[in-house]
Amino acid sequence: MPALTEALISLLIVLGGVFGLVGSFGLIKLRDTMQRLHGPTKATTLGIGCVLIASMLYFIAVKGSVSFHELLITLFLFLTAPITANSIAKTYIIRNVGKKELPATGRRHGWSVYEDPPGAPESQPSPDVRAEA
């Protein structure tokens, strides 16, 4: 394996470790759930992505074939991390932020967490959790 390839693989592994460390540190040190959400979803995802790319490069350099396992893991990770973060953020808003505390959207319809989208069948509006408490 050429020295340049080894250096690139080593750099990606170290970079992945740094991103993972920063993401874990952010998860521990940040105070609020919404702040803590950024550590695992941003930095740690990039860290795992760097390690998976390094693994793909290694298999290309050593075996001469592409490993699709790492590609599938990367694709799955980059698809599920934002969806999970969005679900956690919506849950936090519903449980801890009242409808009146949110800034105005500047549009006809308000926040989708509290109101159905335009054209949706009429249903019961979701109750404001903080208003009941």
- Percent helix, strand, coil in the chain, to 5, is 70, 0, 30
Tens digit of each residue's pLDDT (9 = 90 or more) over 49-80: 899 999 999 999 988 888 888 888 888 888 88
Tens digit of each residue's pLDDT (9 = 90 or more) over 76-113: 888 888 888 888 888 888 888 877 888 888 877 777 77
Stated as kind and residue range, the H or E segment containing 55 is: helix 45-63
Q: How far apart are CA 13 and CA 4, in angstroms?
A: 14
Closest CA to 68 of 80, 56, 76: 56
Instruction: Quickly tell me which residue has 């001469």 as its tokens.
Output: 64
pLDDT (0 to 100) of residue 90: 86
Q: What is the pTM of this model?
A: 0.67
Tens digit of each residue's pLDDT (9 = 90 or more) over 24-57: 888 888 888 888 887 778 887 888 889 999 999 9
